[in-house]
Amino acid sequence: MSASGGSRAVLAALAANLGIAVIKFVAFLLTGASSMLAEAVHSVADSGNQGLLLLGGARSRRRATAEHPFGFGRDRYVYGFLVALVLFTVGGLFALYEGIEKIRHPHHLDSPGIAIGVLVAAFLLEGWSFRTAIGESRQLKGDASWLQFIRRAKVPELPVVLLEDFAALIGLVLALFGVGLSALLHQPVWDGIGTVAIGLLLVSVAGVLIVETKSLLLGEAASPAAVARIESALLGPGVDRVIHQRTLHLGPEEVLLAAKLAMTPGSTLVEVARAIDAAEARVRAVEPTTRVIYLEPDIDRSAEITDSEEAAG
């Protein structure tokens, strides 16, 4: 569900950005507006980003190998991180450079009405893409706020597309602001100011994406709710207590679980094995993404420690 939903959002964003990029480049050639050029490059960068996300999704589905026994699920995180870098450099830094140059060497716009019309059309297309991303994200988001969803989501595509589309919509408003004031006041420096604002916006959004995707690359645990469900499912006949457990996302839809379990004293080897198998089945039933499970049986020594502490006291 999440993978297909992410793909639909990415494809919608790709279709929108390719069309918008062509329109913006034509508008730049007709008007000479630097904010139009910055927005055109931004759309090209976004189109390349969507291509990277689709490539990451395809590569993550490769079969596990002896060298990579846990598979390639994290490829989606790697390509999400690359997207953030592209947005920072190609989108944000280019817009800053272009805006500063326009402020230093302003020149009047040709046919500003064309630029404004193109920006309005681009806003409608970006709005369609943003609406698609929101629709695909709602089921995963649940009751969390949008900020919490972006920070906690394990599926990288949806937060990336959401933030890109949001930045694009705000960027188009800033471009309209720059072009409109330049035309009304006959002061082309406003076009450069709008372009610098677009650059600062893109750099900020890219920074958020870099931080979040870096965390996923380093390895995040399952959500607190999932960890609680797993711990509860581990307990059952033959398993008295969870001594400790660790979870790790191998990919957006694949979690590794390692846990040490205190078994019922006096259990035979066969009973321990059956209790472990039953615990694994319970975990997979309540949390299907927990696909790799390592459970270590042990003896509950908490009572021994308490007795020794009392004797020492």
Do 98 and 203 contact (CB within 8 A), yes or no?
A: no
Give the list of residues 6+ apart from residue 121 with CB closer than 8 angstroms, or none.
23
Domain spanning 2-218: CATH superfamily? Cation efflux protein transmembrane domain (1.20.1510.10)
For the chain, domain boundaries: 2-218, 224-312
Do 129 and 137 contact (CB within 8 A), yes or no?
A: no
Q: Which two tokens stand for residue 57?
A: 């999704």
Cα–Cα dist 57/182, whole Å = 43
Pick the CATH number of 224-312 from 3.30.70.1350, 2.60.120.620, 3.90.76.10, 2.40.30.10: 3.30.70.1350
Cα–Cα dist 40/313, whole Å = 75
What per-residue confidence (pLDDT) applies to 1? 38
What per-residue confidence (pLDDT) applies to 140? 79
Give the list of residues 6+ apart from residue 284 with CB closer than 8 angstroms, or none.
290, 291, 293
3-state secondary structure at position 75: helix
Do 24 and 40 contact (CB within 8 A), yes or no?
A: yes
User: DSSP string of 3-56?
Assistant: HHHHHHHHHHHHHHHHHHHHHHHHHHHHH--HHHHHHHHHHHHHHHHHHHHHHH
Q: Which amino acid is at 272?
A: V
Cα–Cα dist 23/210, whole Å = 29
What per-residue confidence (pLDDT) applies to 33? 72
Q: Which two tokens stand for residue 194?
A: 């709008």
Do 289 and 154 contact (CB within 8 A), yes or no?
A: no
Q: What number of other Cβ atoms are within 10 A of residue 44's Cβ?
A: 20
Give me the helix-helix angle, 34-60 and 157-185, nearest 10°: 170
Each residue's pLDDT expressed in tens, for the chain with a length of 313 residues: 345 556 778 888 888 888 888 888 887 887 777 767 777 887 888 788 888 888 988 898 899 899 999 888 889 999 988 888 888 887 788 889 888 988 888 877 667 788 788 888 888 888 888 888 888 888 778 788 888 888 888 888 888 888 888 888 898 898 888 888 888 888 888 888 988 998 899 899 889 889 988 888 888 999 898 999 999 999 999 999 999 999 999 988 899 999 999 999 888 999 999 999 999 999 999 999 999 999 999 987 665 544 444 445 5
Cα–Cα dist 64/72, whole Å = 7
Q: Which two tokens stand for residue 73?
A: 């699920």
What per-residue confidence (pLDDT) applies to 16? 83
What per-residue confidence (pLDDT) applies to 268? 92
Cα–Cα dist 198/42, whole Å = 9
- Give me the phi and psi of 14, to 5 degrees please: -65, -45
What per-residue confidence (pLDDT) applies to 309? 45
Q: Which amino acid is at 78?
A: V
* Strand ranges for the chain from DSSP E: 239-251, 254-263, 290-298
Q: Which two tokens stand for residue 217?
A: 């690359």
What per-residue confidence (pLDDT) applies to 250? 92
